[in-house]
Chain A
Amino acid sequence: MLANYGYKNGSGDYFITIDTDKCDGCGNCVPACPFGVLEVGEDENDPFREEPVAKVSEFHRKKIKYSCAPCKPMKKRKPLPCMNVCSPGAIAHSW
């Protein structure tokens, strides 16, 4: 399942997509994110899944444009830490 967390507003699309089929719930992304955007827990949208899965925390869902902004400078952007540590490649950003 592709879980899109975030929103679309007048200024653009801000979504973090987690591919729950690829995510193994390892939790490496949680400490990698300097702002605590990601968390690992029960899959809210698949009641029969037993393994934990990564998701964007409720607290950040409606403001990820701002929560993720420090990792997305206009110039000399480095690879995003959350995507860097995710070995299955389950995390994607839309912007």
Chain B
Amino acid sequence: MEKEYWRWPESRWTAPDIDWKSGDIISAGVDVGSVSSQAVVMVDGQLFCYSNIRTGSDSPESAQKAMDKALEETGSTLKDVHYTVGTGYGRVNVPFADRAITEIACHARGANFMYGPSIRTILDMGGQDCKAIHCDNKGKVTNFLMNDKCAAGTGRGMEVFADLLSIPIEEMGSLSFKVEEEPEPVSSTCVVFAKSEAVGLLRKGWPKEKVLAAYSSAMAHRVVELLERIGIEKEFAVTGGIAKNEGVVKRIEAELSIKALEPQHDTQIAGALGGALFAKALVEKQRGLR
């Protein structure tokens, strides 16, 4: 089979020193996105394990798979989880979720945990949409904007370019800097038209790194416009799959003249992590603790 350049590796992680059996509240969040699905399990508000997989054509199945992958090798099962929150565009299709909460609310909450309470501006560059979120010190959303009408500035757009340029998706960020001079960004915002523009540039004899640089900066410019609408505050982070692409992140930082905070975990889990935090809060509410 021909190499699939867009295919990124699925992963999972377990905290080395948490005993889930002694946990009082085991909460979970499952984020079924358009391209990837994540499951996060927390024990008493501590990150216990997570998984990150590709979403298939069947949302309930993807949710189940993500959860199974997160819990494998931990010795715990879905029955041990007290409360599960579903989020992402497939949130209503998580069969074992106790409640569905929008990804906007979950991302703000998750980023608040991942980057600390000082975080104010979050840019989530997901598989097929892009969200700009402003939040307060508790991770409550104060301003948001979602662009899900157009695939410009999304992970799927980058996957299309990985295939077009035959560059493995993980190497796209670093290769986009292998240019002598930063080229003009491609003029089309639409992924389909940007792709045909890129084909034209390749025919003109541009090296693929230069085409990639032109596309990465167009993507960065596009999302900065969205961020400007909600107002940019200094403590800023990028989440989602594109956060792993330094070619885009560094170009966003250059346009904004601020540095994005360094992630400590997989940037794609922010939504599911927020879901798990909400799940914990909802259990506490049920038990009358708050």
Contact = CB atoms under 8 A, between A and B. Distances in A.
B102 A45 contact: yes
Interface residues on B, range: 20 to 34
Interface in B123-150: 140-150
A3 B144 contact: yes
A2 B229 CA distance: 11
A4 B140 contact: no
Contact of B141 (A1, A8, A10, A13): A1
A7 interface: yes
Contacts of A47: 99, 101, 105, 278, 282
Nearest to B85: A47
A91 to B, nearest CB: 15
B147 to A, nearest CB: 6
Nearest to A21: B142
A8 B226 contact: yes
Interface string B94-106: 0000010110110
A60 B289 CA distance: 40
Main secondary structure of the interface of B (DSSP, over half): mixed
Contact of B230 (A4, A10, A45, A46): A4
B101 A8 contact: no
Interface in B219-248: 225-226, 229-230
Interface in A13-53: 13, 15, 44-48
A44 to B, nearest CB: 5
Contacts of B230: 2, 4
A1 B229 contact: no
A7 B149 contact: yes
Given A4-B229, A4-B230, A13-B229, A45 B141 contact: yes
Interface string B267-278: 000000000001
A4 B102 contact: no
B189 interface: yes
Contacts of B225: 8
Given A8-B226, A13-B229, A45 B145 contact: no
14 contacts: A1-B140, A1-B141, A1-B142, A2-B143, A2-B144, A4-B143, A4-B144, A4-B146, A8-B229, A10-B190, A13-B229, A45-B104, A47-B99, A62-B148
Interface of B: 99, 101-102, 104-105, 140-150, 189-190, 225-226, 229-230, 278, 281-282
Q: Which 3 A-B pairs rank lowest in CB-CB distance, beginning with the nearest?
A: A7-B149, A2-B143, A4-B145
